[in-house]
Amino acid sequence: MRTYKSQKIDLNADYPCPCRRNGRIQPITLTEAFGCDRCQQIFVVQEDGYMIEQLSTHYPYKRLWRWTGQQWKLDRSSLSVSYLPLVVLASFGIMVFFLLLATLQTPAGAPSAVRLLTTLAVSLAVMGMFWLAARR
């Protein structure tokens, strides 16, 4: 697999449109933005100068592209960063739900307070492991 190194975006040059509609994005005068002559989209250069962001999009997350020198590469790192905490939280919630369900349906001989304390201890231990893993 070939890796492409990102290049800094020249604010005075024109580039192919990252939307893949055979258009060209050209700099908009007195701004740090580009406009496409085909799809009429506006792209803003990020502060570091290596990525552009599509404005007025109907996607729930920002679409960012990096210029490799020949083509645009969609930057997917922001997507994984924004959804990772949600996935961890959802999996933790499902695990706690099934753990509670399993401990509350044990035989009637065990006191319910002991079952509840055991469930809370295991839940806190798992939450501590997630916290330690996320801290790295």
pLDDT band at 4 (very low <50, low <70, confident <90, very high): low
Is the pTM value of this prediction over 0.75? no
* Residue 50 CB burial class (10 angstroms; 0-12, 13-18, ≥19): middle
Q: 66 and 96: one domain?
A: no
d(CA 105, CA 117): 15
Over the stretch 62-100, which tens digit does the pLDDT of each residue have? 788 999 888 888 887 655 555 667 777 777 777 777 777
**Range of the structural domain that residue 48 is part of:** 15-75
Q: 86 and 113: one domain?
A: yes
Which of residues 19 and 1 earns the better pLDDT score? Answer: 19
Is 2 inside any structural domain?
Answer: no
Q: 83 and 41: one domain?
A: no
Give the up-direction half-sphere exposure of residue 83: CA atoms within 13 A in the CB hemisphere: 8
- Confirm if 28 and 12 have CB atoms less than 8 A apart: no
Q: Answer with the one of 75, 96, 120 that is the final residue of a domain.
A: 75
Q: What percent of the chain has pLDDT over 70?
A: 74
Q: What is the pLDDT of residue 109?
A: 59
Q: 71 and 118: one domain?
A: no
